[in-house]
A and B are shown apart, each in its own frame.
Chain A
Amino acid sequence: KQEVTQIPAALSVPEGENLVLNCSFTDSAIYNLQWFRQDPGKGLTSLLLIQSSQREQTSGRLNASLDKSSGRSTLYIAASQPGDSATYLCAQGQSGAGSYQLTFGKGTKLSVIP
């Protein structure tokens, strides 16, 4: 069974700092990897999706990378802001037999201190 691990579970940084969130997965036959943001009491908002043929994706201050050989993905946030405070989840995608499913990590709770 696939496993996705996110370490650390919580992270606190001062405003303006660049930071990296880590995600590791066990299945090298990854189809894609998706990063989400979740605000307290809310649903998940998709941030970036990296296909298995890609190495990275960028959106604004966010950059996500994928290294299949090491089973790792990172989410880089540049010039962090208090509004970036949220829980960030990564999920590994598998596709086959007519279905597509994500396996989720438990998330990293980020606090950006003004």
Chain B
Amino acid sequence: DVKVTQSSRYLVKRTGEKVFLECVQDMDHENMFWYRQDPGLGLRLIYFSYDVKMKEKGDIPEGYSVSREKKERFSLILESASTNQTSMYLCASSFTTGGGLGYTFGSGTRLTVV
């Protein structure tokens, strides 16, 4: 069964900490995405990557950075966590043209910044 795995389901971090959210896919997908989801705001794209070492800003990149050193792994980095980054974070992956699967999502990471 194809999978997108997010390393943590729940995280609690302190304001100012550097936070790493990890995402790994086993489907040989070229594209990987990071979203955050907040009540009433829906899914908002933070960053995406269409190839190793490539990254593109999404709609809300401020306060975040990403790393993609290997095709299967896409990391989201909160350089200095703030309380307004408390949210559900979702990772997804896809083939370059979507293929027959479209997006496959991980199970999400609920991050609380205190």
Partner of A44, one of B94, B96, B105: B105
Find out whether the CB atom of A49 lies under 8 angstroms from the CB atom of B107. no
Partner of A42, one of B43, B100, B108: B108
Bound-complex Cα distance A41 to B37 (A): 10
Query: A46-B101, A101-B45, A102-B102 provided; 5 other pairs, C-beta below 8 A?
Result: A42-B107, A45-B105, A49-B98, A99-B56, A100-B97
**How many A-B contacts are there with CB distance less than 8 Å?**
63
Chain B residues with a Cβ closer than 8 Å to the other chain, count: 29
Q: Known contacts A98-B96, A100-B96; is A106 also within 8 Å of B90 by CB?
A: no
Find out whether the CB atom of B90 lies under 8 angstroms from the CB atom of A46. no
Contact-size category for A: 20 to 34
Closest B residue by C-beta to A31: B98
Find out whether the CB atom of A100 lies under 8 angstroms from the CB atom of B98. yes
Chain A interface SS verdict (over half)? strand
Interface residue A2 (Cβ < 8 Å from any Cβ of B): no
Q: Known contacts A43-B90, A44-B90, A99-B31; is A49 also within 8 Å of B100 by CB?
A: yes
Bound-complex Cα distance A45 to B102 (A): 11
